[in-house]
Amino acid sequence: MTDPCTKLMESQVKTEMEAAMKYLAMGAHFARDTINRPGFSKFFFESASEEREHAIKIIEYLLMRGQLTNDVSKLLKYPLTTNNTNPIRQEWNSGEEALTDALKLEAQLVDYLTTDFLEEQYKGQRDLAGKISVLGKMMQAHGPLGEFLFDKKLLSGEI
């Protein structure tokens, strides 16, 4: 592998960890007792685990190829800020807003690799877009109760 390729993959590890941190923040937000949306919380915590797994796969690939040029611990040290040193968002006004943010996050990551990750990213985008659509319809039909009902369906795995 060429040095620029290695550096891009190392950069992608940071991007995947950033995505995991954002999803953790979303999960924590919806787990708060004042929000109490355990379905949303569960969904975003699971998404954080998936992004973390992406980072692990890339690190394992770099190690297998003998291409990890930086200290691995430098790749994994990550404060609650983005690459621009902006704080990671900690609150959302609704489940729909958080799902929309998550869709933007997945869309940014889709350009990464055209192997295992591409199909998974497209499935993630499609899943999030579907969830946004269903939530919007439920909220139109039931008002704020729609988000509560959607949350229960997320928790039970129906959505």
* Domain ranges (residues) in the chain: 3-156
The CATH number, out of the four listed (1.20.1260.10, 1.10.132.20, 3.40.190.10, 1.20.1440.130), of the domain defined by the range 3-156: 1.20.1260.10
Per the structure block, which two tokens stand in for 125? 């985008």
140 is in an annotated binding site: no
| Of 59, 108, 60, 110, residue with least CA distance to 82 | 108
pLDDT of residue 141: 97
Kindly report whether the global pTM for this prediction surpasses the value 0.75. Answer: no
Neighbours of 81 (CB within 10 A): 12
DSSP string for residues in 3-50: HHHHHHHHHHHHHHHHHHHHHHHHHHHHHSTTT--HHHHHHHHHHHHH
16 is in an annotated binding site: yes
54 is in an annotated binding site: yes
96 is in an annotated binding site: no
More confident residue, 99 or 117: 99
